[in-house]
Amino acid sequence: MIALLKEYPDCFAWDYTEMPGLDRSIIEHRLPLKKGFRPFQQRARQMKAEILEEVKKEIEKMLNAGFIRPCRYAEWISSIVPVEKKDGRWRVAIDFRDLNRATPKDEYPMPVAETLINAAAGHKNDLTTEEYAALMSDSVEDVTELRLWSLEKIKENKAKVARAYNKKVRPKEFHVGDLVWEAVLPLGTKDAAYGKWSPNWHGPYKVDQVLKGNAYMLEELDGVKFPVAVNGQHLKKYFPSMWDDGQ
């Protein structure tokens, strides 16, 4: 394959501008969609400033070559995924997972480019052991880099979700002597006599002991102690109402 490329360099495109494409009147490629799938717009990914500059350069190259064109109202939007190569440069990939799920599977995929070139040259699969090993090594490295990048993104997203959750959740803490409500467990239990008007909390009870792990021992107002501890997430503070004060 290497010898073939060297012998006929003018038959292959070495730059974006050398691949103008075909007129749509000759051939046009369309993606069939499965029934029931609606267009999906992915959110734009956040990138570092230096990575964003590299992505802009690649996009400008494709725009100047006519590979892509601006679209004002796009139904399908896929995010750009920058992947760093082993030589330090950046590859601009596209996250087509949503679009792939919406398209039917091709039971007869096209052969890979290397196989087509070797077959056309008349010496199919003539790569040496070293060349084949180097080709496979490059592919494995690319996949490994993409997996590592994906793992880091998963960790970042988990950290973002945890921070957002922690901002909304207020830790509950009770002390000995506090009056609390206890949730009716299991959650969502309905009393046949009351239906949807069934109470969600019962009590009040008094905190008798504070245990480790956000657990509490409770007792009824007449001094009868609970046999088991209650998790603090199933408790809430009790505030006397005007009706309690009047009794």
Q: Model confidence over 191-237: pLDDT tens digits?
A: 677 777 777 888 899 999 999 888 999 999 888 999 999 888 889 88
Which residue, 124, 156, 189, sits at the end of a domain? 124
Residue-range definition of the domain harbouring residue 48: 2-124
What is the torsional sign of CA 44, 45, 48, 50?
A: negative
User: 174 in a domain, yes or no?
Assistant: no
Cα–Cα distance, 169 to 197 (Å, whole number): 27
3-state secondary structure of 232: helix
d(CA 55, CA 79): 12
Query: Where residue 13 sits, what CATH number does that domain have?
Result: 3.10.10.10
| DSSP designation for 185 | S
User: Do 184 and 164 share a structural domain?
Assistant: no
| Count of domains forming the chain | 3
Domain-located, residue 74: yes
Rg (CA), the chain: 32
Reading the block at residue 38, the tokens are 């609606």
* Angle (nearest 5°) at CA 136 between 94 and 138: 55
The residue among 139, 169, 199 that closes a domain is 169
Q: Are residues 21 and 118 in the same domain?
A: yes
Q: How far apart are CA 221 and CA 229, in angstroms?
A: 16
Q: Torsion over CA of 221, 225, 226 and 232, rounded to 10 degrees?
A: 60
- Mark whether 160 and 200 lie in a shared domain: no
Q: Would you write out the chain's pLDDT as a tens digit for each of its 247 residues? A: 678 777 887 777 777 667 666 677 777 778 888 888 888 888 888 888 888 888 898 888 888 877 788 888 888 888 888 888 878 888 888 888 888 888 887 766 665 555 655 655 544 455 566 665 565 656 666 666 777 778 788 888 888 888 887 777 677 889 999 999 888 877 667 767 777 777 788 889 999 999 988 899 999 988 899 999 988 888 988 887 655 554 4
In the numeric block, which tokens belong to residue 74? 């796009």
Enclosing H/E stretch for 150: helix 129-168
For residue 59, being part of any structural domain is answered with: yes
